[in-house]
Amino acid sequence: MVSRVIPVDPFDLVLFGATGDLAQRKILPGLYHRFEVGQMPEEARIIGTARSDMDSDGFRAVVRNSIKEFAPSYEKDTLDRFLSKVDYVPVDALGDAGWSDLAKALRSDVIRAFYLSVGPGLFSGIAQRLYDAGLATSDSRIVVEKPFGHDLASAKALNEGLRACFQEHQIYRIDHYLGKETVQNLMALRFANSLFEPLWNATHIDHVQITVAETVGVEGRGAYYDQSGAMRDMIQNHLVQLMCLTAMEPPSKFSPNSVRDEKVKVIEALEPVEPKDIARGQYRTEKGDDGYLDHVGDPGSRTESYIALKAHIGNWRWAGVPFYLRTGKRLRGRESEIAVFFRDPPHTIFPNVGPLHGNVLVIRLQPDEGITLRTTIKEPGQGGFRLSDVALDMSFADALGDNAKSPDAYERLIMDVIRGDQTLFMRGDEAEAAWAWVDPIIHGWEERGDKPAKYDQGSSGPEEALMLMHRDGRRWRQIGG
């Protein structure tokens, strides 16, 4: 298998918030990697903008440092060539300063991408300034980071602000989970194989568990996180997207609108979630270890750093099949996976072996990307007929060697922006539909005054989450080994 790199067309990428954390950690190193492998053409240019009053040399020094830190395998000559494509124009995102300089810095005959690596409060204002300055040409794209709003009303306002200046096919709303290799593999698994699709429904599937567990806490991001919580930060976007790709009908083709039409249908079919089907938690302060409340600096905060909930998709394919979603910080392991539990065999012909277990298909997103199928076999050996569950395990790293090394999600997504491919980006109606499902759930616990339960750092989450599953006679998959 040979990995192919097809260079994209020449572009000017204007990076707003160029001195910010995401730009330094992900976007600039990502662009460097694409340059290194030959996907970013020599004629491409990156124009950093921010309010800081520095010149291009000053910005290049900043970029050099970020590449050294976040792309440590860099080569000096390649980095020098990359930096020769980088410029800087100081721009006041909401004031008048800098916009005419930015206009002068842009070429008219190449693709333009405006990447807004800034808070959502600045999206509409920047879009308007770009439009007023005549920079939003028909060949421009605008890229916005998550969070895409705080609730349905703010997401609608953002959509209106962006659409007043750009057309929907020019707007790229990032959900970096869609850029992860195994997330795309989920579509390949479902729609490039004939084995699974006939079984992919309520007749054969008992339930689905989607887990995104993290070991990190919210330290350093407390101010943002405490306004969001796990529901807004992770469920509304990343986990809903994973659920959509797992549950959607086969799109007629792999094109942006065919795929996104099917995802929207899943979100719109989501039923309201009952309070008893939600478990929220906060990691506690422990001896020697600050807890959530210390990290956000508010001893009275009721924001959740963990959430588990049971979702139902009200359509023919999924009637009665629960989708259990859970995500949390400071948990026992860093693990993201989708586990599809097939129904138990209806009848056993084997005497004295107890009930048979259903197969479980696990799609591991990170770490150690791969696919496992829990299968029942005869236990080897003489004397009696016993069964045991074993994993048919495919680690992509083992199966594909170097070809399994996939670019960071951001690299893939930025190149898709330049190529003009929106398949892996959220459409405006999709973001709104997800908020329309999430908003009443949040309002519900706010109105009831629910407090998140405490959980130990390094655990699997609060007891309440275990109970949520136990009540249904099921068990969560273990987090962390």
Positions marked catalytic: 238
Residue 285 burial (C-beta neighbours within 10 Å; 0-12, 13-18, 19+): middle
- Report the residue number whose CB is nearest to ligand BG6: 233
Task: Scan residues 140-159 and list those touching ligand BG6 (CB under 6 A).
Answer: 146
Count of residues that bind ligand BG6 according to CB under 6 A = 3
Which one, 322 or 328, has the nearer CB to ligand BG6?
328
Q: Which two tokens stand for residue 141?
A: 């794209």
Minimum Å gap between C-beta 233 and ligand BG6 is 5
Q: How far is CA 197 from the centre of its chain?
A: 24
Cβ at position 302, least distance to ligand BG6 in Å: 18
CB of 146 to ligand BG6, least distance (A): 6
Nearer to ligand BG6, 179 or 428 (CB): 179
Residues 6+ away with beta carbon under 8 Å from 161: 123, 124, 125, 127, 128
**Residue ranges in 250-269 that form contacts with ligand BG6 under rule CB under 6 A:** none
How far apart are CB 356 and ligand BG6 at their closest, in Å? 35
Nearer to ligand BG6, 214 or 304 (CB): 214
Cβ neighbours of 476 (radius 10 Å): 18
What's the rounded Cα separation, in Å, for the pair 51 and 145?
A: 19
- Within 389-408, the residues that bind ligand BG6 by CB under 6 A are none
Phi, psi values for residue 217, rounded to 5°: -105, -155
Q: How far is CA 265 from the centre of its chain?
A: 19
Contacts of 194 (CB under 8 A, 6+ apart): none
Interface pattern 275-294 for ligand BG6 (x via CB under 6 A): --------------------
| Cα(74)–Cα(69) distance, integer angstroms | 10
The two structure tokens encoding residue 46: 């990156």
For residues 36 and 214, which CB has a smaller minimum distance to ligand BG6 in the complex?
214
Compute the 3-state secondary structure of the chain and give helix, strand, coil in percent, each to the nearest 5: 40, 20, 40
Q: Which is nearer to ligand BG6, 83 or 308 (CB)?
A: 308
Which position among 233, 335, 369, 416 is part of the footprint of ligand BG6 (CB under 6 A)? 233
At closest approach, how far in Å is the CB of 30 from ligand BG6? 13
Enter the tokens of residue 144. 């916005």
Helices (H), 44-151: 56-70, 76-83, 99-105, 123-132
Which CB atom, from 136 or from 155, has the smaller least distance to ligand BG6?
A: 155
The 201-220 contact track toward ligand BG6, x by CB under 6 A, reads -------------x------
Query: Are the beta carbons of 58 and 88 closer than 8 angstroms?
Result: yes
Nearest to 235, CA basis, from 297, 172, 304: 304
Q: Least distance (Å) from ligand BG6 to the CB of residue 228?
A: 8
Q: Among residues 431, 475, 477, 439, which one has the least CA distance to residue 240?
A: 431
Confirm or reject binding of residue 304 to ligand BG6 (CB under 6 A).
Answer: no
Closer residue to ligand BG6 in complex, CB, 146/260? 146
CA distances from 31 to 144, 244, 304, 418 (A): 17, 29, 34, 12
Q: Least separation, in Å, of the C-beta of 160 and ligand BG6?
A: 24
Binding interface with ligand BG6 (CB under 6 A): 146, 214, 233
